[in-house]
Amino acid sequence: MKLKDWIKTIIFYEILVGMNATLRHLLHYKPITLQYPHEKRSLPDSYRGMLSLLRYDDGTEKCVGCDLCEAACPSRVIKVISAEVPGEPTKRYAKEYYMDMTRCLFCGLCVQACPVDALGMTREYEWAVYDKRHLYLNKEQLLAIGDRAFPVREKRLELQHPNVAFFNVAFTHLPPKDN
């Protein structure tokens, strides 16, 4: 056993095994690289990319200005200034809504915190800009992202329950779907 180890050291056995491995990869060359700008990966649906604000199908904003996303955010990305809907004292909406995307770490906690499903994570990730200030997004920009990323909004049916769908006032004219 001693002699065997010694001979292995002399002929660089371990190194030769390693070199064999690298040479095999050279001869059976199957690259796993994607030529990124020319070809792109197909992303999973649950990909956590750029954040966006969503609308209902009739165009009204989903956001009710409850500030829960701001509270949930660990990096203090979100800033909400909520206000009453003029003329309807029971309803509120986000008068201003800012996201500082330079600090966002795409954890998705705000999306989970939102009671009305007003936030969504898109599959956009190509957000390189020359000026950091371009990543400080306001409500219009976030809504535009949402419109771009979710042209057809599938309603989550469980939210149609009257107890849950208290805020979904804009959909009252639609008949509830049965499961």
Residue partners of 98: CB distance under 8 A and separation at least 6: 78, 79, 80, 136, 137, 138, 139
Sign of CA dihedral 30, 35, 38, 40: positive
User: Could you tell me how many residues make up the chain?
Assistant: 179
Q: Are 106 and 127 in contact (CB under 8 A)?
A: no
Specify the residue, 35 or 179, whose C-beta has the smaller distance to other proteins.
35
Specify the residue, 9 or 138, whose C-beta has the smaller distance to other proteins.
9
Site string for other proteins, 25-54 (x = CB under 8 A): xx--xxxxx-x-------------------
* By CB under 8 A, residue 22 contacts other proteins: yes
* By CB under 8 A, residue 18 contacts other proteins: yes
Alpha helices in 28-163, H assignment, sequence order? 68-72, 109-113, 139-149
- Using the rule CB under 8 A, give the single segment among 22-30, 41-49, 141-149, 168-176 that binds other proteins: 22-30
Return the DSSP state at 156: P
Q: Are 110 and 72 in contact (CB under 8 A)?
A: yes
Say how many residues touch other proteins, by CB under 8 A.
Answer: 14
**Interface pick for other proteins out of 5, 8, 13, 21 (rule CB under 8 A):** 21
Specify the residue, 14 or 140, whose C-beta has the smaller distance to other proteins.
14
Binding site residues, other proteins, CB under 8 A: 15, 18-19, 21-23, 25-26, 29-33, 35
